[in-house]
Structure 1
Amino acid sequence: MKIVAMVGSNRSESYNMKLVKFMQSRYAGKADIEILPIDQLPFYNQDDELNPPEIVKEIRAKIKASDGILFATPEYNASISAVLKNAIDWFSRVETVMVNKPAMIVGASMGAMGTVKAQMQLRQILNAPGVGTLTLPGNEVFVGSVQNKMDDEGNLTDESTVQFIDSVISNFINWTGKMEA
């Protein structure tokens, strides 16, 4: 299964990037997770959407060819980041490559509630016309107090969190397979 990941943080020590890289490694036998370079996208501009920069075309093609999308969102002021919103704006216009694409959302933060508010907002955005992803229902991944659950190399060390993400990945793979059938 080919999954593309949009990580909504461009911070060098991003917990969300570390979480996706952990998932990329842990589930390598089940899913090929490619992290898209959305931090390299220019700001969306409707004037450029019919003749977008090469990076937009490249990422758009990868999303189109994928079996699903993994969104990893930090929470900035109770919302998603500008980096993630910008990417969604680029890929929900002209060639709407996210429509009906299976999607899964994860988020990690140092706060106790994880990224609850950002994920609620992201689910609303993903349901908008032109975006229209199909998000895995009932499998929310909020990794709160992540600094206590991850080692310096970015490995999740909290066994209950790892087991939960194992079950969600399994559910996502099964759900996506049923949608393709």
Structure 2
Amino acid sequence: MNYLAIVGTNSKVSTNRMLLQFMKEHFKDEAQLELFEIKDLPAFYEPEDNQVPQQVAELSAKILAADGVIIATPEYDHTITASLKSALEWISYTSQALTDKPVLIVGASHGALGSSRAQAHLRQILDSPELAARLMPSSEFLLGKSQAAFNATGDLIYPDKVTELDEIFREFTLFTDLITKLLSEKAVIRKGKKFAWQTQKA
């Protein structure tokens, strides 16, 4: 599997970035993860000339090429960051590249509860008609007290959280495979479907 892992913050220092970096190394034998930084994306605006900024076009192309997307979100004031919301607005307004794309949400925060409220909000956003991502049900990875969760080499030091992450990642690879097959079969059905007027005899 090839996954695009989106760092959901423009902060230079982030435990969500560290979480994705750990996942990239930890799961390297199972999947390829490419990290994408949204800190270089412009804030969303409606371009007068309908020209999509290069960074946005690059993000869309990477999403379309990936088997699935992993988004790591912190929690600011009970919701996702403004930079992540802006990035999603660009996708919604332009390519709609997340439509039917398998998505896994993970998150880290300095508090004990992890990014639970932000993840719930992000699910609502990704379920909107213009984004319409395929979210793995009954799944959330919440890393609380994240400032103390990694050692000097970037390894996640909470054994229970590593076990939990292993399980949810295996489920996501299976979910990705199932969604890919479902969409492939759906495309075949649509291609072979005939309308009533096409089957009526003269």
TM-score for both structures, normalised by structure 2 = 0.86
Alignment of 1:34-73 (within 5 A): 34-47=34-47, 50-73=50-73
Alignment of 1:127-138 (within 5 A): 127-138=127-138
8 Å contact kept, 1:73–1:105 = yes
Counterpart of 1:166 in structure 2 is 166
8 Å contact kept, 1:73–1:108 = yes
Question: C-alpha displacement at 1:48, in angstroms?
Answer: 5.1
Counterpart of 2:114 in structure 1 is 114
8 Å contact kept, 1:6–1:84 = no
Find out whether 1:125 has 2:125 as its counterpart.
Answer: yes
8 Å contact kept, 1:49–1:93 = no
- How far apart, in 2, do the equivalents of 1:38 and 1:148 lie? 25
- How far apart, in 2, do the equivalents of 1:153 and 1:48 lie? 46
Find out whether 1:84 has 2:53 as its counterpart.
Answer: no
Counterpart of 1:17 in structure 2 is 17
Q: What secondary structure sits across from 2:39 in the alignment?
A: helix
- How far apart, in 1, do the equivalents of 2:158 and 2:45 lie? 42
8 Å contact kept, 1:79–1:117 = yes
Task: Encode CA deviations 1:80-128: one digit per residue, 9 max, x unaligned.
Answer: 0011111101111232100110000000111010001101100000011
Aligned length: 181
- How far apart, in 1, do the equivalents of 2:25 and 2:53 lie? 31
Task: Encode CA deviations 1:40-97: one digit per residue, 9 max, x unaligned.
Answer: 0111111258211111111111111111110100000111001111110111123210
- How far apart, in 1, do the equivalents of 2:168 and 2:77 lie? 27
Gaps (5+ residues) in structure 2? 182-202
8 Å contact kept, 1:49–1:94 = no
| Cα RMSD, aligned residues only | 1.3
Question: C-alpha displacement at 1:180, in angstroms?
Answer: 1.3
Q: What secondary structure sits across from 1:71 in the alignment?
A: strand
Q: What secondary structure sits across from 1:84 in the alignment?
A: helix
Question: C-alpha displacement at 1:154, in angstroms?
Answer: 2.2
8 Å contact kept, 2:10–2:37 = no
- How far apart, in 2, do the equivalents of 1:115 and 1:97 lie? 25
Question: C-alpha displacement at 1:38, in angstroms?
Answer: 1.3
TM-score for both structures, normalised by structure 1 = 0.95
Comparing 7-16 with 105-114, greater Cα deviation is found at 7-16
Larger Rg: 2
Comparing 89-98 with 16-25, greater Cα deviation is found at 89-98
Gaps (5+ residues) in structure 1? none
Q: What secondary structure sits across from 2:11 in the alignment?
A: coil
